[in-house]
Amino acid sequence: MDYELVVCIVNDGFSETVMDAAKEVGARGGTVIHAKGTANKEAEQFFKISIQPDKEMVLILVPQNIKDDVLHAIYKSAGLKTEGQGIAFSMAVDHVVGLSSSPLAVEEVAAPQENTDN
């Protein structure tokens, strides 16, 4: 199965809104990273919004076939025209290990065999 990484950057306090929207269309979970934005006054004027420096980055690994649904759901609930003022994008993922739906997960994550030749 092919995967995509959906990345969403929202104002502090809106990561739960992002995850709720993503889960409604099939995402299973994500990771939240606290961050600080560096936008300047020109960006605020261009987008016609006030930019809050404290941000949350939400990383969501999803099957490729639901990526568009997840992006659209996030945009509706936490996009630039909402209080969350979020942006979202996706990136292709080459390899995935550790997920139960990945056929490589058990093979590649298995513990190494102990050497008993002592």
pLDDT value, residue 102: 44
Predicted pLDDT of residue 109: 42
Decide: 113 and 107 in contact? Cβ < 8 Å: no
Per-residue pLDDT of the chain (118 residues; tens, 9 = 90+): 799 999 999 999 999 999 999 999 999 999 999 998 876 777 777 777 667 789 999 999 999 999 999 999 999 999 989 999 999 999 999 988 887 654 444 444 444 556 656 5
pTM of the model: 0.76
**Going by C-beta distance under 8 Å and a sequence separation of 6 or more, which residues neighbour residue 28?**
none
Tell me the three state secondary structure of residue 41: helix
> Angle CA(62)–CA(63)–CA(67) in degrees, nearest 5?
70
DSSP secondary structure letter of residue 43: H
Cα 110 from Cα 33, distance rounded (Å): 28
Cβ count near 76 (within 10 Å): 11
CA distance 79 to 72: 9
- DSSP structural state of residue 81: T
